[in-house]
Amino acid sequence: MVQISLRNEADEARQSAGLASIAADLSSDQRAFKNVSWGKAMMWIFLLSDTFVFSCFLISYMTARMSTTVPWPNPSEVFALEIGGTSFPLLLIAIMTFVLISSSGTMAMAVNYGYRRDRITTAALMLATAVLGAAFVGMQAFEWTKLIHEGVRPWENPWGAAQFGSSFFMITGFHGTHVTFGVIFLIAIARKVLRGDFDTGRRGFFTSRKGNYEAVEIMGLYWHFVDLVWVFIFAFFYLW
Amino acid sequence: MVDVPLGVAGVPPAEVEDVELYHPKSWVTHYVFSQDAKIIAVQYSVTALSIGLVALMLSWLMRLQLAFPGALSFIDADAYYQLITMHGMMMVVYVLTALFLGGFGNYLIPLMLGARDMVFPYANMLSFWFYLLAVVVLFASFAVPGGPTGAGWTLYPPQSITAGTPGLAWGIVMMLVSLMIFIVGFTMGGLNYVVTVLQGRTRGMTLMRMPLTVWGIFTASVMALLAFPALFVGAVMMLFDRLLGTSFFMPEIIEQGARLPYGGGSPILFQHLFWFFGHPEVYIVALPAFGIVSDLISVHARRNIFGYRMMVWAIVAIGALSFVVWAHHMYVSGMNPYFGFFFATTTLIIAIPTAIKVYNWVLTLWRGDIHLTTPMLFALAFIVTFVNGGLTGLFLGNVVVDVPLSDTMFVVAHFHMVMGVAPILVIFGAIYHWYPKVTGRLLSVPLGQFHFWVTFLGAYLIFFPMHYLGLMGVPRRYYEMGETAIYPPSAHDLNIFITVMALLVGAAQLAFVFNLIWSLRHGRGAGGNPWRACSLEWQTSATPPPHGNFGKELPIVYRWAYDYNVPGAPEDFIPQNQPPLAGEIASRAP
């Protein structure tokens, strides 16, 4: 039989900080990212790919906005909310952004409680995140309804370049779809947590494989990503 | 030679406990909705090869029309454009991408890395079924009113979604939806391939001990995950332009005196999105071919690959560079001419890592013990063909040479040589090489030799004259040359010659199909390692490999995959899982 011992050089290099440790990990066997599970690695790489999707959407929108010869509608006026006769620019968007960023906070707490095996608190925090996410999508639906009533369509709008409506519905729609999927998965994983699937080793309905509490963290990665994307959409679409 | 010192007593302990496999309970979950990467690989390969045969027949029809205009009454200009579009899209996306990544990737990555399976077998299964759904939607467009789209495989707007282009009603919508489904399916598969390579290797398998096949497929998968999003976004936007009346890509257009309800969009934006996908796509097809051909040459020349590290870095460098060259497809598009300078420079820089690879293949062969087996013949043919296609690439990469050659048959000849014929030769070689592992039987050698010589020589007889046609100025995408005086009669005669050769080469593929089916039952038994190769897929406990790939214990890797003809070794190859031999350290200290 083969004698197995630890390779000391690699261990030492790993303890050393900085680039040397990265090089040591990458040149080691089995795993390029030590202590990163398969699921977590997959989510990170998926998010990288998804970043390219949103980048392409945003760059296309910016190209359209910069190259159009028709004036672009003023976002401060278009996205203003009138309360008691006063027009508040970007009020609804500010609330939506606040809600979504807050949901990242509850998500982060859920991850923490998940690793403490506190099932009730974890599930409650995940459901709170889902409620905040659903509220965001609800406000987005309200925003869409308002704009549609004012005559904004994907192919035209009363104020200027037609690409305003096209880009707006496409980009916020695509982001809203991401949030909606996130809410669905939050509820599904919260249910698993509450039922104790990750303690009893109950197998998934589709995959017939066991899960663990890391699912909460992987869910969290996705959720934070969706929030981060919103920050960019907020900056490039509403503030520009 | 090998980066990790051999025999420094060892190999680190397992970091992840052995996975618990999903054990199928019925025939359906075993062979149809299978979660085993090996079955999924065969599903992918058979589907892709079948589409390849269909796309081949579409090219026959195109060639018949070009050589004998009007002889086939059902081919009018519209039908010709539909043939050209479907042939191109099928071959590039649904055959080559699916076959290299879905087929070879699924089969070889887990086996070559000493893994039980892909890391997410369920997503892997979904990947194939999404792919199949995309294929069904694509083929359904033959049956819809108006037929498939005739926009050309690049689908350039505005013509792809304005009247006059066939398939405006349904075809273009089906094409875009099919591409989107394909991308979703590929993402699930691609995440599997990448994570398996990064995190799912066996003990002792460092990144720099991986066979180059895995390096090629891995880099291509990463590229695909970053390039397909651009196509996805382009498809979504064009779908909106077509269905919702938005104007992302549509400028103001006057059609027969009437103004279309579009305006303010940028057709060049689509070209940028498309080629940000489209150029990496060339290397998504080429890099797995590079990797596989390196392994074929090394095994069949019984010699270690020359400059393994440089080969790896060349693959990575080509992958990275291919993201900054896309606009060399757009020199005549009307973009800012200054871009041409930048993109011509980056394009020509790619020649450096590519040339490194070609030199290393040739140096691997130098003084090697070359066995002219069928896979080796295809591998050698690849090198020659790839150099040919690469050299015409230098013509097209330079702006001033490209402008007169744009949209001529020269371009068609170039990309068919470099990303059509060359990767397909590798696919054939790879199938002759790994078929014994998949089925346990060798393919017939006489049939294989016949297939090789007809395909190899025939491909040259088809595509060499095409360069000449292109230099004469014969345009691509014209469904007939007509009675134009500027083309001499020799151009028409050459067209007939090319068509006859295309029919012959196409027909010769039947020998390959027959070989695949016949050898399944009647082929010579292969044993576990018929080519006496080092890499792990040949060291499985049984052939074909069982569920879980390896026996009770996963193999432990002690060396790279290229220990051929090591002086002092008892045999002319040392498998990767062979512990250090006595005296090996002294003689082969790195």
Q: Are residues A146 and A55 in the same domain?
A: yes
Domain count for chain A: 2
Residue B371 placed within a domain = yes
DSSP, collapsed to helix, strand or coil, labels residue B408 as strand
Residue B8 placed within a domain = no
pLDDT at position A12 over 60: no
By residue count, chain A amounts to 240
Residue A5: predicted pLDDT: 42
Q: Are residues A30 and A53 in the same domain?
A: no
pLDDT in tens, chain B (590 residues): 444 444 444 678 888 888 878 888 888 888 899 999 999 999 999 999 999 999 999 999 999 999 998 889 999 999 999 999 999 999 999 999 999 999 999 999 999 999 999 999 999 999 999 999 999 999 999 999 999 999 999 999 999 999 999 999 999 999 999 999 999 999 999 999 999 999 999 999 999 999 999 999 999 999 999 999 999 999 999 999 999 999 999 999 998 899 999 989 999 999 999 999 999 999 999 999 999 999 999 999 999 999 999 999 999 999 999 999 999 999 999 888 898 999 999 999 999 999 999 999 999 999 999 999 999 999 999 999 999 999 999 999 999 999 999 999 999 999 999 999 999 999 999 999 999 999 999 999 999 999 999 999 999 999 999 999 999 989 999 888 776 667 888 888 999 999 999 999 999 999 999 999 999 999 999 999 999 999 999 999 898 999 999 988 899 999 999 999 998 888 999 999 999 887 775 444 33
- Nearest chain A residue (CA) to B115: A30
* Distance, CA of B227 to CA of B225 (rounded, Å): 6
Q: For chain A, report the end-to-end CA distance as a whole number of angstroms.
A: 67
**For residues B260 and B251, is the Cβ–Cβ distance under 8 A?**
no
- Which residue out of A12, A26, A60 would a mutagenesis test of the B interface target, given it has the greatest number of B Cβ atoms within 10 Å? A60
Q: Are residues A151 and A173 in the same domain?
A: yes
Q: Are residues A98 and A23 in the same domain?
A: no
Count of CA atoms in the C-beta half-sphere (13 A) of B179 = 28
Q: Are residues A15 and A42 in the same domain?
A: no
A163 vs chain B: nearest CA distance in angstroms?
A: 7
Q: Are residues A25 and A61 in the same domain?
A: no
* Distance, CA of B379 to CA of B376 (rounded, Å): 5
Chain B residues in contact with A178 by the CB 8 A cut-off are none
Q: Which of B197, B194, B188, B218 has the alpha carbon at shortest distance from B125?
A: B188
A 206-235 residues with CB below 8 A of B?
206-210
Q: CA-based diameter of chain B, in Å? A: 86
Q: Are residues A20 and A123 in the same domain?
A: no
> A81-83 and A86-88: which strand pairing?
antiparallel
* Distance, CA of A26 to CA of B206 (rounded, Å): 8
Instruction: Convert A84-140 into a string of H (helix), E (strand) and C (coil).
Output: CCEEECCHHHHHHHHHHHHHHHHHHHHHHHHHCCCHHHHHHHHHHHHHHHHHHHHHH
* Distance, CA of B476 to CA of B489 (rounded, Å): 18
B319 vs chain A: nearest CA distance in angstroms?
A: 16
DSSP, collapsed to helix, strand or coil, labels residue A81 as strand
Residue B5: predicted pLDDT: 43
Q: Which two tokens stand for residue B506?
A: 């196409």
A134 vs chain B: nearest CA distance in angstroms?
A: 25
pLDDT tens readout for residues A24-72: 888 888 999 998 999 999 999 999 999 999 999 999 999 999 988 899 9
A148 vs chain B: nearest CA distance in angstroms?
A: 14
Q: Which of B84, B235, B250 has the alpha carbon at shortest distance from B172?
A: B235
Interface contact flag, B201 A154, Cβ < 8 Å: no
**For residues B312 and B212, is the Cβ–Cβ distance under 8 A?**
yes
DSSP, collapsed to helix, strand or coil, labels residue A199 as helix
**For residues B279 and A73, is the Cβ–Cβ distance under 8 A?**
no
Residue B84 placed within a domain = yes
Chain A residues in contact with B316 by the CB 8 A cut-off are none
Residue A164 sits in a domain whose CATH number is 1.20.120.80
Among partner residues B16, B191, B240, which is closest to A166 by beta-carbon distance? B240
Q: Report yes or no: B122 at the A interface, CB cutoff 8 Å.
A: yes
Q: What range does the domain containing A178 cover?
A: 37-239
pTM: 0.94
DSSP, collapsed to helix, strand or coil, labels residue A101 as helix
Bridge partner list, B525: B441
DSSP, collapsed to helix, strand or coil, labels residue B399 as helix
Interface contact flag, A170 B236, Cβ < 8 Å: yes
Residue B5 placed within a domain = no
Look up the ipTM and state it.
0.93
pLDDT at position A16 over 70: no
* Distance, CA of A187 to CA of A185 (rounded, Å): 5
Q: Are residues A171 and A224 in the same domain?
A: yes
A 83-112 residues with CB below 8 A of B?
none
Domain count for chain B: 1
Q: Are residues A78 and A184 in the same domain?
A: yes
pLDDT band at A9 (very low <50, low <70, confident <90, very high): low
- Rounded to a whole number of angstroms, the CA Rg of chain A reads 23
Residue B49 sits in a domain whose CATH number is 1.20.210.10
Interface contact flag, A4 B13, Cβ < 8 Å: yes
**For residues B402 and B331, is the Cβ–Cβ distance under 8 A?**
yes
**For residues A213 and A198, is the Cβ–Cβ distance under 8 A?**
yes
- Rounded to a whole number of angstroms, the CA Rg of chain B reads 24
Ranges of H-type helices in B106-158: 106-113, 121-140
Q: Report yes or no: B206 at the A interface, CB cutoff 8 Å.
A: yes
Residue B6 placed within a domain = no
Q: What range does the domain containing B270 cover?
A: 38-252+262-587
The mean pLDDT value for A131-144 works out to 97
Q: Are residues A60 and A23 in the same domain?
A: no
